[in-house]
Amino acid sequence: MEVSNTLRIALRALARNKMRSALTMLGIVIGVSAVIAMVAVGQGAEKQVQQQIQSFGTNTVMISAGSPAKRPGGARQGFWAVKTLVLEDMEAIQREVPLIAKCAPGTMSSQQVVFRNQNWYTRLMGTTGDYLAVRDWPLQAGNMFGDDEVRGAQNVAVLGKTVADILFVGEEPVGQTIRIRNLPFQVIGVLAPKGQSPMGDDQDDRIYVPYTTLQKKISGQDWLQFLSCTAVSREASVAAVPQITALLRERHRIRPGEDDDFQVRTQSEVADLAEQTSRVMTLLLGSIASISLLVGGIGIMNIMLVSVTERTREIGIRMAVGATEMDIQRQFLVEAVTLSLLGGTIGIVLGTAASGLISGFLGWPVAVSIQAIIVAALFSAGVGIFFGYYPARQAARLDPIEALRYE
């Protein structure tokens, strides 16, 4: 029999019991829309995590002073206590580790910052002009300081977005002068907002000054707290870790068996972990939602079995006039698949709408992916075939003589 006729018979059979067909479809509708919405929420979270990671730069290699490992004396060497990381280390890395493309030093100090009657307690970071390139961080206004300002230890500052917004209410920060520890600093630039770091702190709540200025005029320290480097690729960032470790151990004269006085971390590890976590979440949400799709499928099977029993005589008549087992099986299978596909289509529409509502009302990031829609469509067709097969088989295996006699 032609496919179009099979489809027509199926549609008519479904139209005959509109209420029943609609309720059966509802199971699939709920299942599919739940899958779409849940996966959208999960993938939205995944995307947000990825953006956060990218905001930090996936190729980034962080070298910080101090190590979490215990020293022989028993005291931990903290981030601030270790004075061995110096600018020459950075130069050595740039010279001897070709996997590293660029480095910028980092030294921190928390200070009160004043502009007219506004003040804010924030973190100062001393670095070089390369820092923005390492972090792939654009400016919103003005300029970054360069080598001249660093060499001359000039009092110039580039503000993070949060600081700029707090200190300068309705005023253009670039060109103004702020005071840090009673020293005047000229604001030469404002950075574009970057948001939270993967560790959750506000990366925009910073002020960047030349590291020379910070060391000489504010902190009085001549060592660095960290080096921020970028490797040529994400893979290179991982490969560079042992090379940097070996180089720094040699430079710091650490004997074999002794612990490092520094720590080398890549963003890649953090990224992998975060991505994995959010992927697991997507999977979890998706599989919970899939259970409702499964329940919808069982609903289809149930109704199809009822339908086969109810229509035993019809099956007998069709067989008597020449329908083969295959014809009958196909007819019932097409009915089940029509139910599930129709339900699936409605579910896709509802699920996409629900995702929109979730992002609109709850402000959660959602991402409805084409893949999720295709998978949902295929899955609902699959549910129809899987749960329709058994009832269709039952129908096809009826004995025509018995079926014709059925009351």
Partner 1 sequence: MQSSNHRVITLQDLHKVYDLGEVKVPALRGVNLSVERGEFVAIMGASGSGKSTMMNIIGCLDRPTSGRYYLDGQDVSELTSAERAQIRNRKIGFIFQQFNLLSRTSALENVELPMLYAGVPSEKRHGLARAALELVGLADRSDHHPSQLSGGQQQRVAIARALVNQPSILLADEPTGNLDSRTSSEIMELLELLNRQQGLLVVLVTHEADIAAHARRVVFMRDGLILRDLALSGDRHQKLEALHHIMAEVEEELTQARN
Instruction: Report the nearest approach of partner 1 to the CB of residue 305 (Å).
Output: 20
* Cβ 264 vs Cβ 348: under 8 Å: no
Strand segments, DSSP code E, in 183-311 are 183-191, 206-210, 226-231, 262-266
Q: Does residue 318 bind partner 1 (CB under 8 A)?
A: yes
Q: Which of residues 16-35 bind partner 1 (CB under 8 A)?
A: 16
Q: Does 401 bind partner 1 (CB under 8 A)?
A: yes
In the complex, least distance from residue 11 CB atom to partner 1, rounded to whole angstroms: 14
Q: Which is nearer to partner 1, 14 or 49 (CB)?
A: 14
Smallest distance from the beta carbon of 288 to partner 1, in angstroms?
41
Q: Are the C-beta atoms of 125 and 106 separated by less than 8 Å?
A: yes
The residue whose two tokens read 């209420």 is: 19
Q: Is 322 in the site for partner 1 (CB under 8 A)?
A: yes
315: contact with partner 1 by CB under 8 A: no
Stretch that binds partner 1, among 58-66, 152-160, 259-267, 322-330 (CB under 8 A): 322-330
Considering only residues 320, 362, 374, 378, which one is a binding residue for partner 1 as defined by CB under 8 A? 320
Our finding on whether 2 is near partner 1 (CB under 8 A) is yes
Residues 106, 62: contact at Cβ < 8 Å? no
Closest CA to 206 of 125, 114, 111, 120: 125
> 226-231 and 156-159: which strand pairing?
unpaired
User: Coil, strand, or helix at residue 94?
Assistant: helix
Question: Whose Cβ is closer to partner 1: residue 250's or residue 310's?
Answer: 310
Number of residues in contact with partner 1, rule: CB under 8 A? 21
Q: Tell which one of 316, 343, 347, 391 touches partner 1 (CB under 8 A).
A: 316
Among 54, 118, 324, 371, binds partner 1 (CB under 8 A): 324
Smaller CB separation from partner 1, 161 or 330: 330
What is residue 219's three-state secondary structure? helix
3 vs 199 by CB, closer to partner 1: 3
Tell whether residue 404 is a contact of partner 1 (CB under 8 A): yes
CA angle 113, 114, 118 (to 5 degrees): 120
Burial of 360 (0-12, 13-18, 19+ CB in 10 A): exposed
**Cα dihedral angle (331, 332, 333, 337), rounded to 10 degrees?**
100
Answer for which of 69, 81, 326, 378 binds partner 1 (CB under 8 A) is 326
- The pair phi, psi for residue 101, each rounded to 5°, is -85, -45
Residue 194 or 330: the one with the smaller Cβ distance to partner 1 is 330
Q: How many CB atoms lie within 10 A of CB 228?
A: 23
Q: Which is nearer to partner 1, 246 or 401 (CB)?
A: 401
**Contact region for partner 1 (CB under 8 A) — 74-82, 102-110, 291-299, 320-328?**
320-328
323, 334, 358, 376: residue in contact with partner 1 (rule CB under 8 A): 323
77 CA to centre of own chain: 34
302 and 390 Cβ atoms separated by less than 8 Å: no
Task: Note whether 310 binds partner 1 by CB under 8 A.
Answer: no
Q: Exactly one of 218, 247, 317, 353 binds partner 1 (CB under 8 A); which one? A: 317
Query: Three-state SS for 170?
Result: coil
State yes or no: residue 272 binds partner 1 (CB under 8 A).
no
Q: Which of 35, 134, 178, 319 binds partner 1 (CB under 8 A)?
A: 319
Two tokens at 385?
């075939």
Say what angle helices 267-310 and 234-251 make with each other, to 10 degrees. 150
Judged by CB under 8 A, does residue 373 bind partner 1?
no
By CB under 8 A, name the one of 247, 325, 389, 390 that touches partner 1: 325
- The position carrying tokens 């097969």 is 389
> Applying CB under 8 A, which residues contact partner 1?
1-2, 5, 16, 313-314, 316-327, 400-401, 404
